[in-house]
Homo-oligomer: A and B are copies of this chain.
C-alpha cells in the first residue's frame, strides 16, 4: 500500500486553520476539482453543496490557503485568478486559446535549464510560471 498524501483538510489542521462549515465545503470542492476554477466557479460549486456561503468567504479562504502553501494561484490571460491544490510534483500549463481549456505538462529538462540559467545570472529561483498558449495542430 502506498501512503496517500495528506488531504487538504488534514493539511489545514496541521496549519492550525479552523475547520468551519463553509471552509469544509470549499476544501471538498477544491479536492474534487481537477481543473483550474476561478473564484466564481468555486462559489458556484460550493453553493451547489451548501447554499448561503458568501463569495467574500471564498476569496478570503483561497487567500488563506495560498498563504499557507496549500493551493496555487494562477493568472492566465483572462484576468481572473484560478486555483488548484499544490500538486505533488510541479507542472506547467498549455492554454488552448480557442476553448480556454488548460492542459498540464512537465518538462524536467526545462526545469533544469531554468535553474542553470538562473545560476548563471546569480539568482535563486523562488517560483516561476510557464504558460504556453496553443491551438490544436491543423492537418
Residues of A within 8 A of B (CB): 75, 94, 96-97, 103, 105, 107, 109-110, 113-114, 117-119, 121-138
Contact = CB atoms under 8 A, between A and B. Distances in A.
A124 B105 contact: no
B135 A123 contact: yes
Given A114-B110, A117-B105, A134 B124 contact: yes
A135 B129 contact: no
Dominant secondary structure at the A interface: strand
A124 B137 contact: yes
Contacts of A132: 114, 118, 123, 125, 127-128
B110 A122 contact: no
A11 to B, nearest CB: 23
Given A110-B113, A121-B134, A125-B132, 9 more contacts: A94-B123, A107-B117, A109-B113, A110-B114, A123-B135, A124-B138, A126-B134, A127-B132, A129-B131
